[in-house]
Amino acid sequence: MKRWPAMTAGGGRRVTRNDYGAVARIRQASFILTPMPFEFRTIIEPFRIKSVEPIRFSSPDEREQALRRTGYNLFGLRSEDVLIDLLTDSGTGAMSAEQWAGMMRGDESYAGSRSFFRFERAVRDLTGFRHVIPTHQGRAAERILFGEAVRQGGVVPNNTHFDTTRANVEHDGATALDLVIAEGLQPSFDHPFKGNMDVGRLDETLAAERDRVPLVMVTVTNNSGGGQPVSMENLRAVRAVCDRYDVPLFLDACRFAENAWFIKQREPGFDARSPEEIAREMFSLADGATFSAKKDGLANIGGFLAMNDDDLAARCRNNLILTEGFPTYGGLAGYDLEAIAVGLREVLDEDYLRYRIRSVEYLWEKVAAAGVPCVSPPGGHAVYVDAKTLLPQIPPSQYPAHALAIELFRAGGIRTVEIGSVMFGRVHDDGTEDPAAMELVRLAIPRRVYTQSHIDYVAEVIASIVPRAAELRGYAITSQSKYLRHFTAQFEQL
Ligand code: F0G
């Protein structure tokens, strides 16, 4: 295993120049890094910009009004109120000229379209799964899979369920059990594969409750735990446990390419292998996958459910027809299927992945250098600020990560998302609440959208909040829904 250095947020490393390359040199010295393949060290965006979309500058007054109007819920904002939108990396990427060209080839036949077969071939080549079922996005694949496989009283282990995954499991009356390794729950603890599943606890769970477990899931990368990767070694170990108890293993594969890149960088024996080969091996260890093409599909919409089990696939297809559409389009247009087929190839390009992971590291370094505690090391698609540590005066019951997310918008028009007790707090029938494991603010970087100066601006806004962090106050929820409350809850400032 590569030596993994002790590294704490801010850890004394100074970022001295504002180009990717200067920071890269610091990373090289400290060993963690995205390696520099070329004579020159600045990692540039591996594309030119052909089409631009203006963004609107807003005044602090306008932003304050917008916050009031939305009940202090950032999901309620209009996008034109937002200057830099880091709410999500999902469906927000820029498509390539090849993808747009593919869209013109879209075959919109209701049944048996050429676009479906191109899509199916792209997914099969990558995953090896026999059955490829298109869906309009990831959660539709989850709903169909769990609807067919999960029963009342069931238990679904995962490294960490994402919000929609958890909600879909719970909606079917089952328990969503998070079994990430202990290191994965300590924001400042450095570990190369913090998304790994705790294989011992998985084994114990299956030993005790095998009959209640319809399938095991592993989320790559582990979004709710900081966008952290899962190692091949861990996937193999999970596979072995699943084999021992004869339980199917599914990947929640939204960010499979970013995970493959981390394996290439960090896991012994993989540095000479291509991201594509690594991704294939990851999928070969599973019996199926749910996928949101809005992330590593480089598309604005789409997803799939794929598997080898003939009987389960037949049931899922029937469910699909009822709710999403015929199995050769699954709620998507033919042109969407084309965009995904091209995207799945482009996302595994090494120049793209190097730039992608490096640009997230770059923001992480600037934020950490400003003294802001972050989940460490940086994730694949986002920087996660540890609001519990930054705002110790706000208890989890007053949602410190929400308070910080609101402040980022107020100060600089930056929209982020809370991944803390608003999203994952457990509300009991008597109204009391258990807090989430961590209080994080996620700055998710859309793919191929923002340039280095946008990211520099974000870092500057965050740094401006640090000196007055102790003055920030918490929030109370004034109304909420039963499932996925973070999307619509209303808040008041305390
Ligand atoms: N699984 C993971 C790990 C995700 O991150 C998401 C979506 C989904 C499943 C659901 O996919 O949105 O296409 O239905 N994550 C987005 C996010 C929404 O912002 O992280 P979807």
Question: What distance in Å separates the CA atoms of residue 153 and residue 445, rounded to the nearest whole number?
Answer: 37
The total of other beta-carbon atoms located within 10 Å of residue 38's CB is 8
- Render the burial of 171-206: b for 16+ CB within 10 Å, e for the rest: bbebbbbbbbbebbebbeebbbbbbbbbbebbbebb
Question: What distance in Å separates the CA atoms of residue 151 and residue 138, rounded to the nearest whole number?
Answer: 20
pLDDT tens, residue by residue, 317-369: 999 999 999 999 999 999 999 999 999 999 999 999 999 999 999 999 999 99
Range 253-263 average pLDDT:
98
pLDDT at 17 over 70: no
CB within 8 Å of 59: residues ≥ 6 apart: none
User: Among the atoms of ligand 1, which is closest to the Cα of residue 88?
Assistant: 19
pLDDT tens, residue by residue, 21-53: 433 333 433 435 565 666 777 888 999 999 999
Task: Give me the architecture of the 97-346 domain, per CATH.
Answer: 3-Layer(aba) Sandwich (3.40)
Give the CATH fold of the 33-89+381-493 domain.
Aspartate Aminotransferase, domain 1 (3.90.1150)
Say which DSSP state 228 is in.
B
pLDDT at 26: 36
Question: What distance in Å separates the CA atoms of residue 410 and residue 17, rounded to the nearest whole number?
Answer: 27
pLDDT at 93: 97
Give distance in angstroms: CA of 40 to centre of ligand 1. Answer: 36
Query: Which residue has the least CA distance to atom 19 on ligand 1?
Result: 88
pLDDT at 145 over 70: yes
Question: What distance in Å separates the CA atoms of residue 281 and residue 267, rounded to the nearest whole number?
Answer: 14
DSSP result, 396-420: GGG-HHHHHHHHHHHHH-EE-EEES
Range 424-453 average pLDDT:
93
Residue with tokens 């390794």: 181
Query: Which residue has the least CA distance to atom 20 on ligand 1?
Result: 88
Q: Please list every protein residue whose CB sits less than 6 Å from any atom of ligand 1.
A: 88, 90, 137-139, 162, 164-165, 219, 223, 252, 254, 292, 294, 303
DSSP result, 3-29: ------TT-SPPP-SSSHHHHHHHHHH
Range 391-396 average pLDDT:
97
Question: What distance in Å separates the CA atoms of residue 453 and residue 455, rounded to the nearest whole number?
Answer: 5
Range 461-467 average pLDDT:
96
| 459: confidence class by pLDDT, cuts 50, 70, 90 | very high
The total of other beta-carbon atoms located within 10 Å of residue 57's CB is 8
pLDDT tens, residue by residue, 155-171: 999 999 998 899 999 99
Question: What distance in Å separates the CA atoms of residue 25 and residue 134, rounded to the nearest whole number?
Answer: 43
Q: Where are the domains of the chain?
A: 33-89+381-493, 97-346
pLDDT at 362: 96
| 426: confidence class by pLDDT, cuts 50, 70, 90 | confident
Token pair of 290 as six digits: 């749910």
- β-sheet bridge partners, residue 84: 414
Side-chain half-sphere of 412: how many Cα atoms within 13 Å? Answer: 21
Burial of 340 per CB tally in 10 Å (0-12, 13-18, 19+)? buried
pLDDT at 38: 64
Which run of H or E residues covers position 441?
Answer: strand 440-444
Average pLDDT, the chain: 92
Question: Where on the phi/psi map is residue 420: left (φ > 0), alpha (ψ -120 to 50), or beta?
Answer: beta
Contact between 199 and 234 (Cβ < 8 Å): yes
pLDDT at 418: 96
Range 75-97 average pLDDT:
97
Range 181-202 average pLDDT:
95
Question: What distance in Å separates the CA atoms of residue 386 and residue 88, rounded to the nearest whole number?
Answer: 17
Query: Which residue has the least CA distance to atom 21 on ligand 1?
Result: 138
Range 123-148 average pLDDT:
97
CA atoms 229, 232, 237, 238: torsion sign: positive
The total of other beta-carbon atoms located within 10 Å of residue 254's CB is 28
Give distance in angstroms: CA of 169 to centre of ligand 1. Answer: 14
pLDDT at 19: 40
Which run of H or E residues covers position 493?
Answer: strand 490-493
Determine the residue type at 397.
Answer: S
Mutate-to-test residue for ligand 1 from 74, 135, 136, 295, highest number of ligand atoms within 8 A of CB = 295
Query: Which residue has the least CA distance to atom 12 on ligand 1?
Result: 138
Give distance in angstroms: CA of 298 to centre of ligand 1. Answer: 13
pLDDT at 209: 96
| 6: confidence class by pLDDT, cuts 50, 70, 90 | very low
Question: Where on the phi/psi map is residue 371: left (φ > 0), alpha (ψ -120 to 50), or beta?
Answer: left
pLDDT at 42: 81
pLDDT at 402: 98
Contact between 209 and 155 (Cβ < 8 Å): yes
| 485: confidence class by pLDDT, cuts 50, 70, 90 | very high
Give pTM, 2 decimals: 0.91
